[in-house]
């Protein structure tokens, strides 16, 4: 019976982890060799199930060791930040640990024993409790995935402040649950103590689940609001772009109409007068074409650069002509978010710099099979922060993080650096996109 429960527990553990990883892989990019580390994660997670007599007293040490090794494994599965990796590990741990406490206390109460470290280490009870906790976790993972989560996970992971608060709650609840069974041995049966553990375990579980659902909704609504604002920004920049293009075409049509008359008149004028008129006409044409220039081979980037150029001119900074070819594939929504945030961050940084010190350099080049976009602007001091300074942190908490997330989503790399050149501080950010 004992070995049958052990085998069933291992099978249930593998199934629960398969469902768990599959769910979050829909929202978070993974490394190429992720399958190997998922298998290793499963192997490590199976260690607590083998509760041999010689290692029974070291249950806490085994659990801590498993957590540390599991974090290493999960770090090589998901290509994301440390905070998200910590959340993913503790999230799974809470479901299993609280389930184990709940079912083991129920079984011990039926047997007339008080829960303690020694009592839960009885092999049959131990394996049965783990089996039930894994089965319950499987049901909850499927329920949350189908009924609650849906398309809210991606927005949730973009809200770093919300995610941090949930990780802190995870740690507090885990320590609370550990404290419930901190006694090594209790000989006397204390029914009230068992009932208290059951009640607290249920309270911990539902507190966490409700907090998780609330955090998902906050992330989703914030993401929806940001998405709506991004669409409005796209519409505004496109309208501005088309208006400038329309003005350009009208001016060009007027010039062409006048030029035909001027060209006819030139045949009746002497050479010097005709030359003066020709020079004046060329200057007028140059003035018209200077109002509309192509800055890339991508219509959205053209519109964003034109809008950015107008903003810079309003703060007294002339935008130097640049051509930024785009050769990588990216959704229009991500493309707008990426370059809008880049230009907005540069603009907000330049506003804080004295007018005489404002400088901006934008370059694009190819090196080692990478298409590189180099943005370099003056910054306000050496303590320039790589994070948002906006007051609405839930909506604008992306800061520079949103740029990194989008670039990494498409297999790219972002580097950031503060430099001191000619007694001026510069913030330089480079985006690397693979050309393979």
Chain position carrying tokens 């640049």: 322
Task: State the pLDDT at residue 397.
Answer: 37
Same domain as 299, residue 212:
no
Q: Which of 33-37, 160-164, 252-256 has the lowest average pLDDT?
A: 252-256
| Residue environment code for 239-272, b if the CB has 16+ CB neighbours within 10 A, otherwise e | eebeebeeebeebeeebeeeeeebeeebeeeeee
Number of structural domains in the chain = 2
The pTM of the full predicted model, rounded to 2 decimals, is 0.56
Same domain as 301, residue 189:
no
Q: Which of 39-53, 170-184, 271-285, 329-343 has the lowest average pLDDT?
A: 271-285
Checking if the pLDDT of 17 tops 90, the result is: yes
Where does a domain end: 174, 197, 223? 223
Tell me the average pLDDT across 25-42.
88
Q: What is the pLDDT of residues 94-138, one digit of tens each?
A: 999 899 889 988 988 888 888 876 777 676 788 888 899 999 999
User: Within a domain: residue 374?
Assistant: yes
User: Within a domain: residue 284?
Assistant: no
More confidently predicted of 430 and 289: 430
The 3-state DSSP class for residue 367 equals strand
Where does a domain end: 183, 208, 223? 223
**What tokens appear for 284 in the block?**
């007028």
Checking if the pLDDT of 404 tops 90, the result is: no
User: Within a domain: residue 286?
Assistant: no
Checking if the pLDDT of 228 tops 80, the result is: no
Q: What is the pLDDT of residues 352-387, one digit of tens each?
A: 888 888 999 999 999 888 999 999 999 876 544 444
CA gyration radius, the chain: 31
Distance CA 150, CA 142 (A): 11
Same domain as 67, residue 153:
yes
Tell me the average pLDDT across 184-190.
66
The 3-state DSSP class for residue 132 equals helix
Q: What percent of the chain has pLDDT over 70?
A: 70
Where does a domain end: 192, 223, 254? 223
Q: What is the pLDDT of residues 261-303, one digit of tens each?
A: 556 555 555 555 555 655 666 565 555 555 556 677 877 777 7
Range of the domain at 345: 293-436
User: Within a domain: residue 260?
Assistant: no
Same domain as 172, residue 303:
no
Confidence bin at 13 (pLDDT 50/70/90):
very high
The 3-state DSSP class for residue 121 equals coil
Confidence bin at 396 (pLDDT 50/70/90):
very low
Residues for the chain: how many in total? 436
Which of the listed ranges 90-99, 189-198, 419-428 does the model predict with the highest average pLDDT? 90-99
Confidence bin at 244 (pLDDT 50/70/90):
low
Same domain as 219, residue 337:
no
Contact present, 301 and 326 (Cβ < 8 Å): yes
Distance CA 37, CA 158 (A): 24
Same domain as 197, residue 107:
yes
User: Within a domain: residue 368?
Assistant: yes
Confidence bin at 392 (pLDDT 50/70/90):
very low
Which of the listed ranges 229-238, 317-326, 337-346 does the model predict with the highest average pLDDT? 337-346
β-bridge mates for residue 50, sequence order: none
Q: What is the pLDDT of residues 69-89, one digit of tens each?
A: 999 999 999 988 898 899 999
Same domain as 43, residue 148:
yes
Distance CA 87, CA 93 (A): 10
Average pLDDT over the chain, rounded to whole? 78
Same domain as 127, residue 36:
yes
User: Within a domain: residue 377?
Assistant: yes
HEC string of 59-81? HHHHHHHHHHHHHHHHHCCECCC
Confidence bin at 57 (pLDDT 50/70/90):
low
Same domain as 187, residue 307:
no
Instruction: Give the contacts of 95 (CB within 8 A, at least 6 positions apart).
Output: 133, 136, 137, 140, 141
The 3-state DSSP class for residue 358 equals coil
Checking if the pLDDT of 395 tops 60, the result is: no
CATH number, domain with residue 399: 3.30.565.10
Contact present, 267 and 277 (Cβ < 8 Å): no
Same domain as 27, residue 169:
yes
Task: State the pLDDT at residue 88.
Answer: 92
Task: State the pLDDT at residue 387.
Answer: 46
β-bridge mates for residue 413, sequence order: 432
* Maximal C-alpha separation, the chain: 120
Same domain as 136, residue 219:
yes
User: Within a domain: residue 283?
Assistant: no
User: Within a domain: residue 334?
Assistant: yes
The 3-state DSSP class for residue 262 equals helix
Contact present, 189 and 113 (Cβ < 8 Å): yes
Task: State the pLDDT at residue 376.
Answer: 93
């Amino acid at each position: 019976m004992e070995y049958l429960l052990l085998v069933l527990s291992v099978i249930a553990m593998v199934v629960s982890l398969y469902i768990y990883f599959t769910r979050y892989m829909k929202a978070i990019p993974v490394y190429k060799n992720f399958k190997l580390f998922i298998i290793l994660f499963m192997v490590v997670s199976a260690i607590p199930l083998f509760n041999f007599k010689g290692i029974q007293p070291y249950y806490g040490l085994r659990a801590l060791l498993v957590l540390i090794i599991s974090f290493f494994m999960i770090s090589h599965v998901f290509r994301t930040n440390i905070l998200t990796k910590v959340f993913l590990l503790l999230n799974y741990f809470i479901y299993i640990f609280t389930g184990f406490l709940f079912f083991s206390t129920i079984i011990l109460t039926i047997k007339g024993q008080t829960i303690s470290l020694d009592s839960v280490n009885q092999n049959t009870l131990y394996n049965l409790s783990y089996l039930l906790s894994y089965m319950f976790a499987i049901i909850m993972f499927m329920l949350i995935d189908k009924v609650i989560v849906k398309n809210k996970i991606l927005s949730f992971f973009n809200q770093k402040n919300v995610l941090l608060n949930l990780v802190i709650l995870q740690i507090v609840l885990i320590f609370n649950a550990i404290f419930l069974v901190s006694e090594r041995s209790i000989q006397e049966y204390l029914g009230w103590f068992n009932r208290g553990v059951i009640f607290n375990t249920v309270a911990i579980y539902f507190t966490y689940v409700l907090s998780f659902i609330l955090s998902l909704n906050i992330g989703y609504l914030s993401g929806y609001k940001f998405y709506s604002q991004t669409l409005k920004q796209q519409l505004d920049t496109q309208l501005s772009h088309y208006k400038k293009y329309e003005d350009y075409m009208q001016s060009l049509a007027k010039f062409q109409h006048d030029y035909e008359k001027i060209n006819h008149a030139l045949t009746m004028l002497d050479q010097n007068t005709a030359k003066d008129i020709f020079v004046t006409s060329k200057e007028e044409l140059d003035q018209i074409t200077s109002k509309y220039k192509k800055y890339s081979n991508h219509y959205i980037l053209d519109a964003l650069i034109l809008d950015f150029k107008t903003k810079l001119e309003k703060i007294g900074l002339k935008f130097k002509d640049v051509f930024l070819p785009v050769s990588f594939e990216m959704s229009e929504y991500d493309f707008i978010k990426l370059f809008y945030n880049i230009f907005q961050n540069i603009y907000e940084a330049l506003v804080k710099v004295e007018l005489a010190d404002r400088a901006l350099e934008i370059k694009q080049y190819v090196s080692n099979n990478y298409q590189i976009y180099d943005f370099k602007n003056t910054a306000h001091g050496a303590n320039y922060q790589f994070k948002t300074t906006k007051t609405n942190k839930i909506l604008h908490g992306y800061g520079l993080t949103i740029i990194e997330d989008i670039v990494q989503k498409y297999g790219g790399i972002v580097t950031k650096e503060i430099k001191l050149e000619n007694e001026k501080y510069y913030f330089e950010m480079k985006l690397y996109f693979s050309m393979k």
